[in-house]
Amino acid sequence: MIKIHTALLLKFGIGRHAFNKELWLNRPRTRKCFVQDIINNVITVGMSRNELIKLLGVSSRNEYNDAVLSYLISSFKNGKTKEILNVYFDEKGLVSHVRIKYRKMHSA
């Protein structure tokens, strides 16, 4: 019963869950459930770019420059980006910090 309950919560993007690499890579809509665990327990300061890519996959976004890898967390119903996980690297190419960037919905 617990597995079914967790599966439903993940399907609808509800709650906070331990990071699951397979779901992160293959079911992007579940990503927001893992963000707090990723920030608190998965990504560590000093982690290399290659280590990060092995965990989260290749970033499909380049928000700023090569010193930042960005991962889409969620989007608005119209498809525009809502939340992005930004991982920042120092001059040695090691993780220096992680932030979530939120974008507001602009009315047309």
In 3-state terms, what secondary structure has residue 36?
A: helix
Is the predicted pLDDT of residue 4 greater than 70, yes or no? Answer: no
Confidence (pLDDT) at 106: 62
Q: What is the DSSP letter of 31?
A: G
- Residue 48's H or E segment, with its range, is none
Cα–Cα distance measured from residue 38 to residue 24, given in angstroms and rounded to the nearest whole number: 11
Residue 5: both structure tokens together: 């309950």
107: Cβ contacts below 8 Å, ≥ 6 apart: none
Residue 30: both structure tokens together: 């579940």
Helix, strand, coil share (%) of the chain residues, nearest 5: 35, 25, 40
Q: 38-49, pLDDT tens digit by residue?
A: 999 999 999 999
* pTM of structure: 0.78
**Domains annotated on the chain, with CATH:** 2-102 (3.30.1450)
Q: 47-83, pLDDT tens digit by residue?
A: 999 999 999 998 866 656 778 999 999 888 888 888 9
